[in-house]
Amino acid sequence: MKYLSYLFGGLSAAYAGYYLVLYLYRWEWQRALISGVLLLVIEGFLVCVLLLARMSRLENRLAEHDARVEEVRRRLEQSRQAAPERFRWLAARDRDGTGRTFVFIPVLMVAGAALSGVAFVVQKIAAATVRPGAERRLAGQLAALTAPPDPAPGAGRGAARLEDRPAVPPSRAGRKLTMLVATVAGVVALVLLRESLADATQTRPEALPDSAATTVVFRVEMRGEEPPQALELAAEDLWQTCRRSTAARNEQAFVRRLEDDVYAGVIRPALTSHDLMRLHGCVEDASTHRATARVLGEGQAEPRR
C-alpha cells in the first residue's frame, strides 16, 4: 500500500508539473495556477505518507524495545534470590518448630526491639519502592546488550544467524551501474530541458511575418440566460483584455461578429508566432462576466506587398 501511494503520488506530481509548465508556456495563467495548486497538494500528500511511514516505523521500534526491556526485567526477577530472614531472633519459633525463650536485659531488649522494628519498616519500604524502578532502569540499560530475538517459527530453519552475517555488506556492481546510468540520463535530460526552456522563453526579437494582419476566430459561451447584447459586450471585453497581453503594438485591433456566438478578431500589424501564441492562450484562459471563449482558428491574412 505504501509503494502504491508513492507510485500514485509520483505520477500525479509528474502530470501536474508537466501541465504547469505547458500552461505557462501557452500563457494560460488560470490553468497554470490550478496545476500549481494541484502540484502543491500532491506534494503535501507525499510528505504526509512519508511522515506516517516513519512514525509507524518508530512506533514499531519503540514497542520492540519495550518488549525487550520487559523480558530482561522478568529474567532479573526470576534470577533474584529470596530475601533472607534478617530478624530470626524476633520469631517465637525456629524453623524446626521448637520454641525458645530468650532472656535479655530489659534496656537492651527494649532498645533492640525498637531499632529492629524501625529497620524492618525501612527495609520493607525500600523493597517495595526502590527495587522495581531500579530493576526497570537496569533492564533498559541491558536491553541494548541483549542478542536479537530469535526468528519466528514460520521463518524456517534457513534464516541467517547474527554470527553468519558479514560485518560489511558486499558491494553490488549492478546497483552502481544503475546509479551511473541514472545519473548520466538525468544530466542529459537536464541539458535538453534547459535548451528547450531557453528556446521557449527567449526574448530576442522575432522576424515579422509576411502578412498585414492577424485573425483569430473564437466562440463565446456564457453561463445562464443572457441577452445577445451581453454576449457581444463580453466578447468585446475579452478581446480588448487579451490583445493587450501581447508584446507588439496593436493599436488597430477590432472584433466583429460572424454568427450567433462566433466572433473574429483582427490585429494590425500582424503578430509574430510568439505573440500569436500568447493571444491564443489568453483567449482560451480568460473569463469575464461569466463568459468563456474557445479559439476555433487563427492565422495571418492579407499578405504584404
Domain boundaries, the chain: 1-95+104-146, 213-301
Residues 6 or more apart whose CB falls under 8 angstroms from that of 162 comprise: 147, 148
Say what percent of the chain tops pLDDT 90: 2
Query: How distant, in Å, are the alpha carbons of 214, 216, 251, 267, 302 from that of 211?
Result: 8, 14, 16, 11, 6
Q: Are 254 and 269 in contact (CB under 8 A)?
A: no
For residues 249 and 253, what is the distance between their CA atoms, to the nearest angstrom?
A: 10
Average pLDDT, the chain: 77
With bands split at pLDDT 50, 70 and 90, how would you rate the model's confidence at 269? confident
Give Rg (Cα) of the chain: 43
Q: What is the pLDDT of residue 98?
A: 56
Q: What is the pLDDT of residue 75?
A: 79
pLDDT in tens, 77-112: 777 666 565 555 555 555 555 555 454 456 666 777
Q: How far is CA 141 from CA 17, 264, 266, in A?
A: 50, 83, 83
Which pLDDT belongs to residue 204? 63
Predicted confidence at residue 105, as pLDDT, reads 56
Q: What is the pLDDT of residue 134?
A: 67
Q: What is the mean pLDDT of residues 161-190?
A: 76
pLDDT reported for residue 294: 87
127-131: average pLDDT: 65
Which pLDDT belongs to residue 187? 87
**Residue 292 pLDDT:** 84
User: Long-range contact list for 87-94, CB < 8 A, 24+ apart?
Assistant: 87/116, 87/119, 87/120, 90/116
What's the pLDDT at 203?
59
Query: Whole-angstrom Cα distance, residue 232 to residue 121?
Result: 101
pLDDT in tens, 190-225: 788 777 766 666 656 667 777 888 889 999 888 877
Give the three cell numbers for residue 118.
524501625
pLDDT at residue 257 greater than cutoff 60: yes
State the pLDDT at residue 6: 80
CA dist., res. 41 & res. 25, Å (int): 22
pLDDT at 126 over 80: no
pLDDT (tens digit per residue) in 164-177: 666 666 667 777 88
Task: Dump pLDDT digits (tens) for 22-57.
Answer: 888 777 777 888 888 999 998 898 888 888 888 988
- Write the CA distances from 149 to 64, 68, 146, 232, integer angstroms: 10, 9, 9, 80
The class level of CATH for 213-301 reads: alpha beta
Q: What angle do CA 172, 178, 184 make, to 5 degrees?
A: 140
d(CA 36, CA 18): 10
Query: Span 118-134, mean pLDDT?
Result: 73
Q: What is the rounded distance in angstroms from the CA atom of residue 140 to the CA atom of residue 72?
A: 8
